[in-house]
Amino acid sequence: MTQEKSIHCGTKVRAYSEIRARAARLASGLRELGLGPADRFAIVMRNDVEYIEATLAGASIGAVPVPINWHWTGDDLAHVLSDSECRLAFAHTDLLPAVRDRLPTGVPLVEVATPPYIVDAYGLEPQTLTGAHPEFEALIDAHEAAAATSTAPPQSVIYTSGTTGKAKGVLRDPSGPEGAERRIRLALETLALDATMSTMVTAPLYHAAPNNHALVATALGMDLYLLHKFNPQELLELIQREHLEHLQMVPTMFRRLLALPDEVRASYDVSSIKSIIHAGSQCPADLKEQMIGWLGPVINEYYGGTESGAIVKCSSAEALAHPGTVGRAMDGCGVRILDVDGATLPAGEQGVIYLKPRPGTANFTYIGLPEARAEIEVDGYITVGDMGYLDEGGYLYLTDRAKDMVISGGVNIYPAEIEACLHMMDGIADVAVFGVPDEDMGEKLVAHIELEPGVSLTAQQVREYVAGHLAKYKTPRAIVFDEALPRDDTGKLFKRRLRERYMTATQPK
Are the CB atoms for 210 and 228 separated by under 8 Å?
no
In this structure, the dihedral spanned by the alpha carbons of residues 24, 158, 313 and 429, taken in order and rounded to 10 degrees, is: -110
| Span 383-395, pLDDT tens digits | 988 899 999 999 9
Of the candidates 425, 445, 439, 453, which has an alpha carbon nearest to the alpha carbon of residue 499? 445
Asked whether residue 441 falls in the same domain as residue 300, the answer is no
Asked whether residue 221 falls in the same domain as residue 136, the answer is no
Average pLDDT over residues 407-427: 84
At residue 492 the predicted structure's pLDDT band, cuts being 50, 70 and 90, is confident
Write down the pLDDT at residue 410. 64
Distance CA 115, CA 9 (A): 10
Are the CB atoms for 40 and 64 separated by under 8 Å?
yes
Rounded alpha-carbon distances, angstroms, from residue 143 to 10, 20, 42, 50: 27, 14, 21, 17
Of the listed ranges 36-45, 56-65, 154-163, the one predicted with least confidence:
154-163
| Span 430-467, pLDDT tens digits | 999 999 988 777 789 999 999 999 999 999 999 999 99
In the predicted model, is pLDDT for residue 374 greater than 50?
A: yes
Q: Answer positive or negative: Cα dihedral of 463, 469, 475, 480.
A: negative
Average pLDDT over residues 330-341: 94
Most confident of 254-268, 275-289, 359-373, 426-440: 254-268
Distance CA 18, CA 6 (A): 9
Q: In angstroms, how far is the first alpha carbon of the chain from the final one?
A: 69
Residue 174 lies in a domain: no
Residue 183 lies in a domain: no
Give the pairing type, strands 442-451 and 428-438.
antiparallel
- Domain CATH for 36: 3.40.50.980
What's at 100, amino acid-wise?
Answer: R
Are the CB atoms for 328 and 393 separated by under 8 Å?
yes
For the chain, the average pLDDT equals 91
The beta-carbon contacts of 105-111 under 8 Å, at least 24 apart in sequence, are 107/81, 108/33, 108/34, 108/133, 108/134, 109/133, 109/134, 110/30, 110/33, 110/54, 110/134, 110/135, 110/136, 110/139, 111/135, 111/136
Distance CA 319, CA 300 (A): 8
Sheet strands (E) in 279-409: 299-305, 309-314, 325-329, 334-338, 351-356, 364-366, 377-378, 381-382, 386-390, 396-401, 406-408
Asked whether residue 125 falls in the same domain as residue 102, the answer is yes
What's at 472, amino acid-wise?
Answer: K
Asked whether residue 453 falls in the same domain as residue 413, the answer is yes
Residues 6+ apart with CB under 8 A from 297: 315, 316, 317
Average pLDDT over residues 201-230: 95
Of the candidates 298, 492, 286, 472, which has an alpha carbon nearest to the alpha carbon of residue 385? 492
Residue 161 lies in a domain: no
Nearest 5 degrees, angle CA 231-CA 485-CA 458? 120
Distance CA 388, CA 366 (A): 25
Of the candidates 144, 203, 154, 199, which has an alpha carbon nearest to the alpha carbon of residue 175? 154
Distance CA 2, CA 127 (A): 37
| Span 194-207, pLDDT tens digits | 999 999 999 999 98
Write down the pLDDT at residue 151. 66
Among residues 375, 402, 429, the one where a domain terminates is 402
Asked whether residue 397 falls in the same domain as residue 470, the answer is no
Instruction: Residue count of the chain, please give it.
Output: 509
Asked whether residue 366 falls in the same domain as residue 498, the answer is no
Of the listed ranges 269-278, 358-367, 401-410, the one predicted with least confidence:
401-410
Domain count, the chain: 3
193 versus 251: which is more confidently predicted?
A: 193
Q: Answer positive or negative: Cα dihedral of 153, 41, 495, 489.
A: negative
Among residues 402, 433, 465, the one where a domain terminates is 402
Asked whether residue 446 falls in the same domain as residue 384, the answer is no
- Domain CATH for 485: 3.30.300.30
Write down the pLDDT at residue 1. 42
Residue 170 lies in a domain: no
In the predicted model, is pLDDT for residue 470 greater than 80?
A: yes
Average pLDDT over residues 31-55: 97
In the predicted model, is pLDDT for residue 162 greater than 60?
A: no
Residue 218 lies in a domain: yes
Are the CB atoms for 213 and 248 separated by under 8 Å?
yes
Asked whether residue 417 falls in the same domain as residue 447, the answer is yes
360 versus 388: which is more confidently predicted?
A: 388
Q: Give the range of the structural domain holding residue 46, as residue numbers without chain letter.
A: 14-151
Average pLDDT over residues 106-124: 97
- Tell me if residue 3 falls in helix, strand or coil: coil
Asked whether residue 395 falls in the same domain as residue 280, the answer is yes
Of the listed ranges 78-92, 172-186, 322-336, 424-438, the one predicted with least confidence:
172-186
Asked whether residue 386 falls in the same domain as residue 415, the answer is no
Asked whether residue 347 falls in the same domain as residue 215, the answer is yes
Nearest 5 degrees, angle CA 94-CA 158-CA 404? 100
Residue 138 lies in a domain: yes
Are the CB atoms for 5 and 15 separated by under 8 Å?
yes
Residue 156 lies in a domain: no
- Domain CATH for 236: 3.40.50.12780
Distance CA 204, CA 229 (A): 9
In the predicted model, is pLDDT for residue 364 greater than 70?
A: yes
At residue 161 the predicted structure's pLDDT band, cuts being 50, 70 and 90, is low
Asked whether residue 362 falls in the same domain as residue 483, the answer is no
Among residues 114, 134, 151, the one where a domain terminates is 151
- Rounded to the nearest angstrom, the gap between the alpha carbon of residue 278 and the centroid of all alpha carbons in its chain is 10
Residue 423 lies in a domain: yes
Of the candidates 293, 291, 318, 286, which has an alpha carbon nearest to the alpha carbon of residue 303? 318
Write down the pLDDT at residue 165. 55
In the predicted model, is pLDDT for residue 507 greater than 50?
A: no
